[in-house]
Amino acid sequence: MSQYKIEAGTGQHIGDRNEQQDRAGLFAAPKAPGFMMAVVADGMGGKSGGALAAEQVVRTAKQLFEEFGPEDDVAKCIESIIRESHTIIQLSGISAEKEPHSTIVILIITPNNRAVWAHVGDSRLYRFSGPNLIERTIDHSYVEKLVSENKITAEEAKTHTLSNILVNVLGSSTTEPFITFSEYDDLKPTDSFLLCSDGLWHYFTDRELGAVVAANTPRVAAEMLINKARERARSRGDNCTLALVKLVKPPKVEKNYKVEKMRRAI
């Protein structure tokens, strides 16, 4: 069983957009004690289409996780959430005569020290040990492809004119999403996970993110990161959303009782 306590929180800001099209959620599994899920979705599409898409992602995640049992396969649960979200976004787009799309990054932590996550699009997951970045998801974007081919650097990708072009999303009417999975099987205190939309990660280095996450509670870290992202955006920022999950040592149970000799019963 796990030797840690989970601390988690979310944070969000509309940025300098007219509408908040990101969504985030943290959920427990009612039928599977000890399992928890974090999800972030970044919607895209005019006239509230993006907000509709992201809302469908989080709603679907919550509904399917409520039916998740302790013997169910975690990766299959995540895949079902993503596939069903994709289908619902497609159908809602047809009925609303819109073209909504969304990214997703999703994490499930189990009570046996295991974490499984997956993503579609450019919303990211970072895994830290203390302040140190261990790994992060690789964006499904055109500029990330250029980076992998050594045509541009990671820093150049942030300001590239095509930095907002994704090659993989939920809700496409022509292409099924491909899902990138990862997992880690040795969770311990000081491990942490940051899930966030590009409106947040765009403004930070990996080292900056790790330092803030390690030194603060999820609530304080969320406030600090969003405030700094807003400052660095200089009134040109996108929607900014994050979910933060930290594993910490459980508090020691202090003995507050005194053992006395039992008196003879009369």
Task: Output phi, psi for 154, to 5 deg.
Answer: -60, -35
Q: Say if 257 falls within a structural domain.
A: no
Q: What is the pTM of this model?
A: 0.92
Q: Say if 242 falls within a structural domain.
A: yes
The pLDDT tens digits along the chain (266 residues) read 568 999 999 999 999 999 999 999 999 999 999 999 999 999 998 767 899 999 999 999 999 999 999 999 999 999 999 999 999 999 986 666 568 999 999 999 999 999 999 999 999 999 999 999 999 999 999 999 999 999 998 888 888 888 889 999 999 988 999 999 999 999 999 999 999 999 999 999 999 999 999 999 999 999 999 999 999 999 999 999 999 999 999 877 666 666 566 566 55
Closest CA to 209 of 194, 220, 199: 194
Boundaries of domain holding 38: 5-248
Q: Say if 82 falls within a structural domain.
A: yes
Structural domains in the chain (count): 1
- Where residue 135 sits, what CATH number does that domain have? 3.60.40.10
Q: Say if 115 falls within a structural domain.
A: yes
Q: Say if 109 falls within a structural domain.
A: yes
Residues with Cβ within 8 Å of residue 21, at least 6 apart in sequence: 42, 43, 44, 45, 50, 51, 53, 54, 239
Q: Say if 214 falls within a structural domain.
A: yes
What's the token pair of residue 104? 């997703």
Q: Say if 258 falls within a structural domain.
A: no
CB atoms within 10 A of CB 57: 30
Q: Say if 255 falls within a structural domain.
A: no
